[in-house]
Amino acid sequence: MKLFDVYPINNINIVKAQGSLVWDDKGTEYLDMYGGHAVISIGHTHPWWVKRIEEQLHKIAFYSNSVEIPIQKELAEKLGTISGKKDYQLFLCNSGAEANENALKLASFHTGRKKIVSFKKSFHGRTSLAVAATDNKSIVAPVNETENIVFLPFNDEEALKDYFEKAGNEVAAVIIEPVQGVGGITVATKNFLQLIRSVCDKHNAVFIADEVQCGYGRSGKFFALDHANVNADIYSMAKGMGNGFPIGGILIAPHIQPKHGMLGTTFGGNHLACAAALAVLEVIEQEALLAQAKQNGQYLMDQLKEIDGIKNIRGFGLIIGFDVPDELKDLRKNLLAKHHVFTGEAKPNVIRLLPALTITKAQIDDFLQKLKSEIRELKKAEIAHSIAE
């Protein structure tokens, strides 16, 4: 049987990983500035995470949500403390799309309304409502097309006010990534996020922060929205939550009431996933990773700003993007092939850096040195090419 060929892949077989380093089957070492797509939060194969999962595996891996699962309550307690949202409620699921699907559905149940406000260049996942709220027609199947989603320009306060004046009382939810990931690391302004809070309050709509990529400490605060000093009604989380063990969830404000049967999942919140998620939070706390992400991210950003050739360096903490001009278009490809560094991309010309929150300053320096060296090479080749012409 063949695999269903939907992923454009690099011809590299990673067989071992530790912290921010990974190794292929030939023993070649790679620096992971991509965090396996923002998933690796506390570093690959962190010993505490391995121990926690291993110990849980010997006790029980799974039982359905029809019985008491105390480790879910332990996770909720810890998450409430570390995120500073102690009075919120936790619903557990398995992925980012599922988290957003449940968030949007819950907003609709809560308000009795249908309209969702989303933003241009947003990405919220591939399940039916999440993909409908994603601004990329090529991944929306005909069956997922709906009139219920409106896409407004990102960071455009006037457009948001105008829409709410016209149709605010029909809006179930506004969903936004406080830092757009797939869209190219675009940071929502503080004013824009505060305006979303106030229009949602005025019209009793639900404010959903999609923190699947930018949340869980990556920005230097637990949620990227925390930088704007406002609270969302629902936060969706996934990637960094399990450090590679599949788990997602939503944090739900106290005024949104649950009802039996309203949401549900077979695998969500299983013992093993909760053990992985608890290990992540324990390491974030023990190793003060929010402060480290802030400090190392600022250092990386400051150093990137000194490099001639790359443009518009932006982000927070360890979610950083920059534009690559046409003359350096092979930069990402060469970083991987020649310097053995994984980075992320956002089409058409953005490099995304999403390393583990545990990345060391020495590893950041190693990356910067490789980046500068490759930029020099590409510029030299460009000059030689233009002389030859």
And the tokens for 18? 């530790």
Q: How far apart are CA 188 and CA 134, in angstroms?
A: 17
Ramachandran assignment for 177, one of left (phi > 0), alpha (psi -120 to 50 degrees), beta (any other): beta
Is residue 212 involved in binding ligand PLP (CB under 6 A)? yes
How many Å separate Cα 155 from the centre of its chain? 19
Which positions ≥6 away from 318 have C-beta within 8 Å? 218, 219, 220, 293, 296, 297, 300, 353, 354, 355, 356, 357, 359
Residue 221 or 370: the one with the smaller Cβ distance to ligand PLP is: 221
Region binding ligand PLP by CB under 6 A among candidate stretches 68-76, 83-91, 176-184, 372-380: 176-184
Residue of 35, 36, 96, 178 interacting with ligand PLP (CB under 6 A): 96
Is residue 244 involved in binding ligand PLP (CB under 6 A)? no
Is residue 97 involved in binding ligand PLP (CB under 6 A)? yes
Is residue 182 involved in binding ligand PLP (CB under 6 A)? yes
Residue 181 or 321: the one with the smaller Cβ distance to ligand PLP is: 181
Is residue 177 involved in binding ligand PLP (CB under 6 A)? yes
And the tokens for 324? 């690559």
Residue of 72, 155, 213, 363 interacting with ligand PLP (CB under 6 A): 213
Residue 76 or 99: the one with the smaller Cβ distance to ligand PLP is: 99
Residue 132 near residue 314 (C-beta atoms within 8 A): no
Region binding ligand PLP by CB under 6 A among candidate stretches 21-29, 94-102, 140-148, 256-264: 94-102
Is residue 273 involved in binding ligand PLP (CB under 6 A)? no
Q: Would you state the torsion angle of the CA atoms of residues 45, 46, 47, 49, taken in this order, to the nearest 10 degrees?
A: -90
Residue of 52, 113, 124, 352 interacting with ligand PLP (CB under 6 A): 124
Region binding ligand PLP by CB under 6 A among candidate stretches 52-60, 85-93, 123-131, 138-146: 123-131
Supply the minimum distance, in Å, between the C-beta of residue 133 and ligand PLP. Answer: 10
Residue 100 or 334: the one with the smaller Cβ distance to ligand PLP is: 100
| DSSP codes, 248-315 | EEEEE-TTS---TTSS--SSTT-HHHHHHHHHHHHHHHHTTHHHHHHHHHHHHHHHHHTSTT-EEEEE
Query: Which residue type occupies 383?
Result: I
* Binding interface with ligand PLP (CB under 6 A): 95-97, 100, 123-125, 177, 181-182, 210, 212-213, 238
